[in-house]
Amino acid sequence: MNHPARVEESALVVATAESVYRAVSNVRRVGEWSPECVGVWSRSQRFEVGTRFIGWNRKRLWFWFTSCVVVRAEPARDFAFKVSTFGMPVALWGYRFEARETGCLVTEYWEDLRSGRSAPIAKLLGLVFTGTSPKRRTAANREGMRATLARLKAVMERP
């Protein structure tokens, strides 16, 4: 049986779950910590379930955009959005927040949603637009998550 690819990475951030959630759920700030996302466009000022936005991404010579919709927005607990391209599902990206005695454990997670008849096309588009082969996608996302969480931690812990 072929299971979808899933990746999770976590980091302890010395900040409250509420403050980290507020930062992450304001997706316009993602460019501050993401190694690929360079900007977000949305008509909305609030990112709650159903809010749509466009993510602009760059990796070396490649530049692409994705259509996104917020699917979970539980303050200080969980924030997630689905990503699609040309109407095809691509991925679920999200963050879980767990209050700890010394701060907040932030877990970034990703699930590959490319499946069914459109999966080969979505994987080919991923290669063409992002320069990352389908075989390398999971490892690339894990590396990106580690960088994202390290940068998020640095931003949130800055005095």
pLDDT at 35: 93
Angle of CA points 27, 85, 119, to nearest 5° = 125
Which residue is it, tokens 């999770």? Answer: 8
Q: Where are the domains of the chain?
A: 6-154
Q: How far apart are the first and last CA of the chain?
A: 49
Q: What does the alpha-carbon distance between residue 123 and residue 121 come to, in Å, rounded to a whole number?
A: 5
| Cβ pair 29, 151 in contact under 8 A | no
pLDDT tens sequence across 60-91: 888 989 999 999 999 999 999 999 988 889 99
Which residue is it, tokens 């977000």? Answer: 40
* Secondary structure element (H or E) that encloses residue 149, with its range: helix 137-157
> What does each C-alpha distance from 59 to 37, 38, 140 come to in angstroms?
9, 10, 11
pLDDT tens sequence across 114-142: 877 766 766 766 666 676 777 777 888 89
Q: What does the alpha-carbon distance between residue 124 and residue 87 come to, in Å, rounded to a whole number?
A: 15
Reply yes or no on whether the pLDDT at 40 is more than 60: yes
pLDDT tens sequence across 22-31: 999 999 999 9
Task: Say what percent of the chain tops pLDDT 70.
Answer: 89
Q: Where are the strands (E) in 75-155, listed by range?
A: 78-85, 88-100, 103-112
**Thinking of the domain 6-154, which architecture would CATH place it in?**
2-Layer Sandwich (3.30)
pLDDT at 118: 66
Which residue is it, tokens 């990206």? Answer: 93
Angle of CA points 11, 141, 44, to nearest 5° = 80
Which residue is it, tokens 């690819």? Answer: 5
- How many of the other CB atoms lie within 10 Å of CB of 63? 12
- How many of the other CB atoms lie within 10 Å of CB of 23? 19
Overall average pLDDT of the 34-47 stretch: 93
The better pLDDT of the pair 12, 127 is held by 12
